[in-house]
């Protein structure tokens, strides 16, 4: 069977629409979203009908917890003043443009989902199994640490998002972590496509992971962001594929791969 995992929508309803269609075309039986519906892009309310219509099972991200409970900030945990400045702009915009009904829906999402497919035990979370807003970067996460985190969930496979960059690792102990990537903005690789993850599970629990690039109408998104008065820096990322903000939380390996 095939399962599709989306992460970090960041209001990018155009990419979500394209990813849902792509996953259906590839016969994904179930669709999941690991949270952070809002941020960055335009028109937050356009994401929700798509998720509901497609029956996407959703986990609550830090952004969703914040918007749902009208907290003062997004809890992304930036430490740099410039990063925080931009985080504030998109948070205020998203909070203001998310309807009360959608906020209530976000508020009620589960912080994690445990499920079993073909004997494979899955744990779906947002940041890490122990903390919604913990960054698990590829270059700052040891195997021993992954083993500890995954062990505590009792699962074989843990999936998360939150950092914006997709990666996977199977530890020496045979446990697997997958960061499913985000649909909200490109992966800081100079390409305009965004990424989601397909998990193929065979009977007996053997599985394979595929990262899938999604092309969508990014020009339209960029136009709408401009019309909504969102920062030019955000628009540049959508058009160029390079991150221009939230850079100070990147470890050096991930930072070096980008342009800024």
Partner 1 sequence: MIEASAAAFVELHGLDELWFQVAGTRCNLSCSHCFISCSPHNDLFGFLSLDDVRSVLVESIEWGVREYYFTGGEPFLNPDLVEMLVTALGYGPVTVLTNATVLKDEWLLRLRAAEEQGPFSLEYRVSIDGPDPQTNDPIRGEGTFERAIRGVEQLVRHGALPIITMARTWPDHRDDEVLGRFRDVLRQHGCNRPRLKILPRLKLGAEVERTEGYADWERVSPGMLEGFDSTQLICSHSRTVTDRGIFVCPILVDQPGAWMGESLAETDRPFPLEHGACMTCYQYGAICTNPSSQFHGQAGETDRGEGGR
Residues that bind partner 1 (CB under 8 A): 30, 32, 57-59, 62, 65-66, 71, 73, 75, 77, 79-81, 109-115, 124-127, 129-135, 137-145, 147-149, 151, 169, 247-256, 260
In the complex, what is the shortest distance from the CB of residue 197 to partner 1, in angstroms, rounded to a whole number?
15
- Residues 19 and 143: their CA atoms lie apart, in Å, by 31
- Max Cα distance, the chain (Å): 51
Please give the residue ranges that form the binding site for Fe ion (CB under 5 A). 36, 61-62, 162
Write the CB contacts of 144 (distance below 8 Å, at least 6 apart in sequence): none
Q: Are 13 and 44 in contact (CB under 8 A)?
A: no
What's phi and psi for 168, nearest 5 deg? Answer: -150, 155
Q: Which is nearer to partner 1, 109 or 238 (CB)?
A: 109
In the complex, what is the shortest distance from the CB of residue 127 to partner 1, in angstroms, rounded to a whole number?
8
Helices (H), the chain: 13-25, 47-53, 62-68, 81-96, 100-107, 143-153, 218-227, 232-240, 252-257
In the complex, what is the shortest distance from the CB of residue 161 to Fe ion, in angstroms, rounded to a whole number?
7
Return the residue nearest Fe ion (CB atom): 162
| Partner that binds at residue 79, options Fe ion, partner 1, none, CB closer than 5 to 8 Å by kind | partner 1
In the complex, what is the shortest distance from the CB of residue 111 to Fe ion, in angstroms, rounded to a whole number?
12
């Amino acid at each position: 069977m095939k399962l599709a995992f989306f992460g970090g929508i960041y209001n990018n309803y155009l990419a979500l629409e394209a990813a849902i269609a792509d996953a259906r075309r590839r016969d994904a039986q179930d669709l999941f979203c690991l949270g952070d519906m809002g941020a960055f892009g335009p028109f937050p309310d356009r994401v929700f009908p798509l998720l509901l219509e497609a029956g996407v099972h959703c986990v609550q991200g830090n952004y969703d917890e914040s918007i749902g409970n009208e907290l003062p900030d997004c809890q992304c945990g930036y430490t740099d003043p410039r990063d925080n400045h931009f985080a504030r702009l998109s948070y205020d915009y998203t909070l203001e443009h998310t309807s009360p009904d959608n906020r209530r829906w976000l508020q009620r999402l589960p912080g994690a989902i445990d499920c079993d497919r073909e004997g494979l035990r899955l744990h779906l979370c947002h940041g890490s199994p122990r903390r919604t807003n913990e960054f698990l970067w590829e270059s700052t996460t040891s195997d021993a640490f992954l083993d500890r985190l995954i062990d505590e969930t009792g699962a074989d496979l843990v999936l998360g998002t939150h950092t914006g960059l997709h990666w996977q690792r199977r530890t020496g102990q045979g446990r697997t972590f997958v960061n499913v990537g985000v649909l909200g903005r490109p992966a800081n690789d100079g390409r305009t496509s965004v990424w989601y993850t397909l998990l193929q599970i065979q009977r007996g629990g053997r599985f394979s992971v595929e990262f899938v690039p999604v092309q969508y109408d990014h020009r339209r998104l960029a136009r709408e962001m401009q019309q909504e008065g969102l920062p030019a820096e955000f628009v540049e990322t959508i058009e160029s594929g390079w991150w221009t903000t939230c850079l100070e939380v990147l470890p050096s390996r991930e930072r070096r791969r980008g342009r800024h």
